[in-house]
Amino acid sequence: MVRLQNEDSLDRYIAYLKRFACYLLRVYVAQKEREALECDVDRSDEELVDNNEEFLPDIVGERGGTHETANSEQSDRMKDCCELTKFNPEQKQLLEDMLQSLVSGEDEETQVQKMSALMMSMILQSLKGLDRFDSPMIHFAAVLGIVEEENRLRRGDEYSYMLAGFMYCIRVLFVVCRACAAGSHERRAD
């Protein structure tokens, strides 16, 4: 890898990678909350149908046919991310492991190993046969291009350095993980 000319750039680039990690965890948690909410709503609707068949038209009419959450503003904010970001089963398990590690306060080395495994899963995700926007990494790169305060997309000159920095970190992480894997493979062979 080429050494960066400006040390401040490295800090900025690492910040993009941190944002990606936070983004993954936030989307995963939001997806879990939505699934739990949908299960609760489905379960309560089944109970309503079973127990109150004669009142069902009135209940549906009161609800307007939709299910509103108590915190609809927050769920609406994450709605697109939850629908557009697709995690494969391996990634879901790695995200769950990472989340549990953070909640339980495991040591830093363990958390770094789990985060590295999660990042490698994102980097190596196969896009063959999938819509390319199913990749959480590609979706995050698209989200980086949004200026939320101004409700617009970034211009190329505002955005290209962000993509370059994010991809720089991804490449470095990939090389480091592959080098570590190769080193451990060589040690096993000896």
pLDDT digits over 102-137, tens only? Answer: 999 999 999 999 999 999 988 887 655 566 667 888
Of 36, 161, 28, 168, residue with least CA distance to 98: 28
Query: Is residue 147 within 8 Å of 153, Cβ to Cβ?
Result: yes
Locate all alpha helices (DSSP H) within the chain, ordered by sequence: 7-51, 56-63, 72-84, 89-104, 108-123, 136-144, 156-189
Q: Which pTM does this prediction carry?
A: 0.72
pLDDT digits (tens, 9 = 90+) for 62-102: 434 444 444 555 557 788 888 888 898 999 999 999 999 99
Query: Is residue 66 within 8 Å of 93, Cβ to Cβ?
Result: no
What pLDDT score was predicted for residue 99? 94
Q: Which residues contact 130 (CB under 8 A, 6 or more apart)?
A: 86
Average pLDDT, the chain: 78
Q: Give the CA count within 13 Å in the CB-facing half-sphere of 163.
A: 14
What b/e string do you get for 161-171 counting C-beta neighbours within 10 Å, with b at 16 or more? ebeebbebbbe
DSSP-based three-state secondary structure for 107:
coil
Q: What is the chain's length?
A: 190
The Cα 126–Cα 104 span in angstroms is: 31
> Would you list the domain boundaries of the chain?
8-30+80-189
pLDDT digits (tens, 9 = 90+) for 23-71: 999 999 999 998 888 887 666 555 544 544 444 344 344 434 444 444 5
What pLDDT score was predicted for residue 70? 47
